[in-house]
């Protein structure tokens, strides 16, 4: 293998490119990124960068070294696996011997094409635009009470806006399970957020511009309407490639998709496990996938997954996936801090400092 | 080693992504903050991969 192409411009792509060099790959590594910015982290975009506390520049990831050819503003539009060739948006073919698919996801939108007014938050540009809108606003309506929607709500409260969050499910329940979700829901209410659950889902109101939503007969609106209703894996460019797509590109436990093709991060769906659209997962999958591409016989990640959220003064760290596990088997409360453990394989802290390594070990100990 | 690593003050949130990649360079202690292992004997490429993996861009490498 002489030439490896990495398609994507964020953490999964950067880690894969770095890891190929760690493993001593000496051929050409070309990174194709649709974004015009150097790779950056999205994690602070709903938090300190949206509030203005941190600058856009502070999100830049440390640069790849010169041995990686980074091509910004370059979108892959199709893939021919037989000819081992990617075609990019200007029509140019990019040949490869090995391919890493790391195209992540883009924000899902509710409004039909052509309707203005629905804001989303996925990229630095989205963040800058939303921040500007919020600076002129008194109120915001957030559609979607998952991690992202609730973080946006929290940041908007620190900016002094009136905040309403609407979702068909109770806040955060699907991703955190009932106990952790309740802790944050209580904190959100204490911080003055209006939370609305509309089991049937909301209906958008507006024609050319989104004016608000119909929530079970109530019309909800605000100066700014932002939706945080999940992301869509960015795998459209793989349509027609023959690779298996199922809400993302399907991989085995080591990121392998097909001969000499691997995938990692938000674009990947691991067979039997699913999608884990979190930062740590993108890093770990990218390493395993790079190893697999080079034919290294390294086992997949053994530790439970890890993610976190900070909102309304509550810092939550989660190892494993407690959402489907119901009530925890152990809860240690000390003032406003908690340590929770599910013997089926998860652990979490709330405002409680435990090294993440230990938290993940605690989650895996049975 | 030729690269040296710095922490950008006030950014680390203790997510230990760096430590998972290069435990010989980074250590997240009981206070939940990263510490650089003094005089670590490390591979530069691995240390750089770890520096780039921080979700809050708290690490910097200089050569
Ligand atoms: C606002 C926000 C806050 C978040 N906060 C947290 C958090 O606190 N904790 C946590 O664990 N996770 C968080 N996440 C999730 C985390 O950021 C993602 O899991 C992570 O970014 C996934 O990385 P990725 O490289 O797989 O994909 P992405 O970050 O989606 O990057 C994909 C890259 O591929 C490029 N691309 C797409 N299509 C093409 C193409 N056809 N050709 C070339 N390039 C292409 C894109 O431009 C982009 O650069 C947050 C996400 C957002 C949006
Ligand atoms: S430096 Fe970054 S990756 Fe390392 S522990 Fe701190 S926040 Fe986590």
Provide the residue ranges of all domains of chain B, joining segments of one domain with +: 4-62
Ligand 2: which of B20, B58, B59 to mutate, judged by most atoms within 8 Å of the beta carbon?
A: B58
Band of residue A322 on the pLDDT scale cut at 50, 70, 90 = very high
Give the pLDDT score at A296. 85
Which chain B positions have a beta carbon within 8 Å of A310's beta carbon?
Answer: 13
Each domain of chain A, given as residue ranges in start order, spans 3-106+231-293, 109-227, 313-364
Contact residues on chain A for B56, CB-CB shorter than 8 A: 41, 43-44
B14/A356 Cβ within 8 A: yes
pLDDT in tens, A244-276: 999 999 999 999 999 999 999 999 999 999 999
Tell me whether residues A15 and B52 touch, CB distance under 8 A.
yes
Q: How far apart are CA A140 and CA A152, in angstroms?
A: 10
Could you please state the CATH topology (level 3) that the domain comprising B4-62 is classified under. Answer: Alpha-Beta Plaits (3.30.70)
Identical fold at A3-106+231-293 and A109-227? yes
What confidence score (pLDDT) does residue A238 get?
A: 98
CA distance B30 to chain A (A): 6
Q: Which atom of ligand 1 is nearest to the CA of A127?
A: 1
Q: Whose CA is nearest to atom 8 of ligand 2?
A: B15
Mean pLDDT score of chain A = 96
Any idea which fold A109-227 has? FAD/NAD(P)-binding domain (3.50.50)
Closest CA to B51 of A306, A65, A31: A65
Q: A204: closest CA among A186, A220, A188, A223?
A: A220
CA distance A109 to B29: 41
Helices (H), chain A: 11-22, 48-51, 124-135, 147-158, 173-176, 178-190, 279-293, 356-364
B12 Cβ inside 6 Å of ligand 2: yes
Q: Is the CB of A309 inside 8 Å of chain B's CB atoms?
A: no
Whether the CA torsion A272, A273, A275, A279 is positive or negative: it is negative
HEC secondary structure over B6-29: EECCCCCCCCCHHHHHCCCCEEEC
Whether the ipTM is more than 0.90: the answer is yes
Q: What are phi and psi of B30, to 5 degrees?
A: -60, -20
Q: Enter the tokens of residue A282.
A: 């993108």
pLDDT at A299: 67
Is residue A322 lining ligand 1, measured as CB closer than 6 Å? no
Question: Residue B39: is its pLDDT beyond 90?
Answer: no
Average pLDDT over residues A34-39: 97
Give the number of other Cβ atoms within 10 Å of residue A91's Cβ.
7
Homologous superfamily of the A3-106+231-293 domain (CATH) = FAD/NAD(P)-binding domain (3.50.50.60)
* DSSP codes joined into one string, A306-323: EEEEEETTEEEEEES-GG
Residue B1 has pLDDT above 60, yes or no: no
């Amino acid at each position: 293998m002489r030439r490896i192409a990495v398609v994507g411009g964020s953490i999964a792509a950067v880690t894969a490119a770095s890891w190929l060099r760690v493993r001593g790959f000496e051929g050409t590594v070309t990174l194709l990124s649709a974004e015009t910015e150097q790779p950056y982290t999205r994690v602070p975009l709903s938090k300190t960068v949206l509030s203005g506390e941190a600058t856009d520049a502070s999100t830049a990831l440390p640069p790849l070294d010169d041995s990686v050819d980074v091509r910004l503003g370059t979108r892959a539009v199709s893939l021919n696996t037989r000819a081992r060739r990617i075609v990019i948006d200007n029509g140019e073919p990019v040949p490869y011997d090995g391919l890493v698919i790391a195209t992540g996801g883009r924000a899902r939108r509710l409004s039909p094409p052509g309707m203005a007014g629905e804001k989303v938050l996925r990229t630095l540009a989205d963040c800058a635009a939303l921040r500007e809108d919020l600076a002129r606003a008194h109120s915001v309506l957030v559609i979607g009470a998952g991690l992202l929607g609730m973080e946006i709500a929290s940041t908007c409260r620190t900016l002094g806006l009136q905040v309403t969050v609407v979702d068909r499910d109770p806040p955060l329940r699907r991703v955190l399970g009932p106990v952790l979700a309740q802790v944050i829901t209580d904190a959100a209410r204490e911080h003055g957020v209006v939370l609305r659950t509309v089991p049937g889902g909301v209906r958008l109101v507006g024609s050319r511009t989104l004016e608000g939503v119909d929530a079970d007969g109530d019309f909800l609106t605000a100066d700014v309407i932002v939706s945080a209703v999940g992301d869509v894996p960015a795998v459209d460019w793989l349509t027609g490639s023959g690779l298996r797509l199922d809400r993302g590109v399907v991989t085995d436990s080591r990121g392998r998709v097909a001969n000499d093709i691997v995938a990692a991060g938000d674009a990947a769906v691991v067979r039997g496990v699913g999608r884990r659209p979190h930062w740590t997962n993108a890093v770990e999958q990218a390493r395993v996938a790079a190893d697999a591409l080079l034919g290294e016989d390294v086992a997949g990640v053994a530790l439970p997954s890890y993610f976190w959220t900070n909102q309304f003064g509550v810092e939550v760290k989660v190892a494993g996936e407690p959402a489907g596990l119901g009530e925890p088997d152990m809860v240690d409360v000390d003032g406003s801090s908690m340590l929770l453990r599910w013997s089926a394989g998860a652990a979490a802290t709330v405002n409680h400092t435990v090294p993440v390594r230990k938290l993940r070990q605690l989650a895996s100990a049975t | 080693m030729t690269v040296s690593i710095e922490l950008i003050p006030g950014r680390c949130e203790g997510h230990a992504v760096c430590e998972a990649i290069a435990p010989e360079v980074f250590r997240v202690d009981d206070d939940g903050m990263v510490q650089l292992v003094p005089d670590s004997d490390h591979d530069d490429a691995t240390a750089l991969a770890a520096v780039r993996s921080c979700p809050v861009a708290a690490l910097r490498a200089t050569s």
